[in-house]
């Protein structure tokens, strides 16, 4: 697959880190020694969350335990020893409600009004990290099959222009492009390597077509 440098989705990692309303946890540093549930350890939201918590709060990632619900989102990747697989039929929200995990990463607050974000002002705290770092996390970008791009060399630019025009029409954010997304992709690539998700730091040039 080859990436086309247009952003399809961005989410707040902190805004999707949920706990039970009666949880004593309110500061990310209190997560040390706790168990967090996440769909997959290599899921983009989890990679961003771990990296940001480490950089902004100094949280020791080796002190966290994880429960995963899906196989790795990266071919050939094996979860680290700090991970255990949830029982068959278990759900992220269900285990959190039952107190079987201390927090859950990747839950949409609007869909779970009985839960709360770990940090009461989660989005504002994340905006402080964004302002200080200059990095706004991205989750999904467009991709196409590399064999199609090799056969139709115009395809990447055509898709880039089409999606860009559509986003401009609905006013959904600033223009995209390799240089625009480079800072976020490079930080995400570094986080993925530091967390053992990738064997090396991938470069934006090998991941994306021009645009």
Calculate what percentage of the chain has a pLDDT beyond 90: 75
Distance set, CA 138 to CA 20, 45, 85, 114, 116 (Å): 27, 9, 26, 27, 23
pLDDT digits (tens, 9 = 90+) for 72-110: 777 778 889 999 999 999 999 999 999 999 999 999 999
Q: What is the pLDDT of residues 113-171, one digit of tens each?
A: 999 999 999 999 999 999 999 999 999 988 999 999 999 999 999 998 888 888 888 87
Q: Which domains does the chain have, with CATH numbers?
A: 2-8+135-207 (no CATH), 11-133 (3.40.190.10)
Q: 10-36: per-residue pLDDT in tens?
A: 889 999 999 999 999 999 999 999 999
> Which of 55, 37, 46, 61 is closest to 13 using CA atoms?
46
Alpha-carbon distances, residue 191 vs 46, 47, 50, 137, 185 (angstroms) = 10, 7, 8, 12, 10
Beta bridge partners of 208: 3
């Amino acid at each position: 697959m080859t990436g086309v440098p247009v952003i399809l989705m961005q989410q707040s990692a902190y805004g999707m880190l949920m706990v039970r309303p009666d949880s004593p946890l309110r500061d990310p540093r209190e997560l040390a020694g706790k168990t967090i549930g996440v769909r997959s350890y290599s899921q983009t939201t989890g990679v961003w969350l771990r990296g940001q918590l480490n950089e902004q709060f100094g949280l020791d990632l080796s002190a966290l335990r994880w429960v995963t619900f899906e196989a790795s989102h990266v071919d050939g990747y094996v979860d680290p020893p700090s991970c255990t697989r949830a029982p068959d039929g278990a759900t992220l929200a269900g285990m959190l409600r039952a107190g079987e995990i201390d927090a859950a990463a990747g839950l949409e607050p609007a869909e779970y009004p009985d839960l709360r974000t770990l940090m009461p002002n989660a989005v504002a705290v994340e905006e402080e990290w964004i302002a200080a770092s200059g990095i706004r996390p991205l989750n999904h970008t467009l991709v196409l099959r590399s064999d199609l791009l090799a056969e139709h060399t115009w395809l990447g630019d055509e898709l880039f222009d089409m999606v860009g025009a559509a986003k401009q029409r609905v006013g959904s954010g600033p223009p995209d492009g390799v240089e625009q997304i480079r800072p976020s992709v490079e930080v995400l690539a570094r986080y993925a390597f530091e967390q053992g998700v990738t064997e090396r730091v991938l470069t934006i040039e090998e991941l994306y077509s021009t645009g």
